[in-house]
Amino acid sequence: MTRSLYCRDCGELRKKAPLHPEDRAMGWTWRFNYVSPVVPEGHGITMITSDDDSALDGVGKSQFIAMDSLLCDSCGERITGDICVARTMWRESVEAEPRLWENEYGHILPPQAVAVADALKDGPKPKQHETPY
């Protein structure tokens, strides 16, 4: 199972791209959810360092670095705005659909709520039958 969090632009691109035929043949599938991003408490990364290759085995000095924002798993930029995209991939032939981990990073938004938010952000559009005078 893999899970990824994307900025809105990268997430929309990922949603449009079809699952590769080889991955589909191996039983991979995916789900996408819109999420209102929230940085979880204690969010950060742990770096393991060593003077030799033992860090590759998880042996060495560890250092936790707190992060005050979420980063896109595609472009690496900070996730800004009110909506991001979460992708979960798993092999149906090996495991059941994973639990909703997306709640760890905010609230899952239904597509209808995202459509309303987008419409409000873009402002009202003139009706087709209105004349501009």
Contact 4, 79 (CB under 8 A): no
The number of residues in the chain equals 133
Q: State pTM to two decimals.
A: 0.77
pLDDT digits (tens, 9 = 90+) for 69-123: 999 999 999 999 899 999 999 999 899 999 999 999 999 999 999 999 988 887 6
Higher-confidence position of 33 and 122: 33
Q: Can you give the residue ranges of every domain in the chain? A: 2-39+69-122
Q: What is the pLDDT of residue 50?
A: 74
Please tell me the predicted confidence (pLDDT) of residue 20. Answer: 92
Phi-psi region of 73 (alpha: psi -120 to 50; beta: other; left: phi over 0): alpha
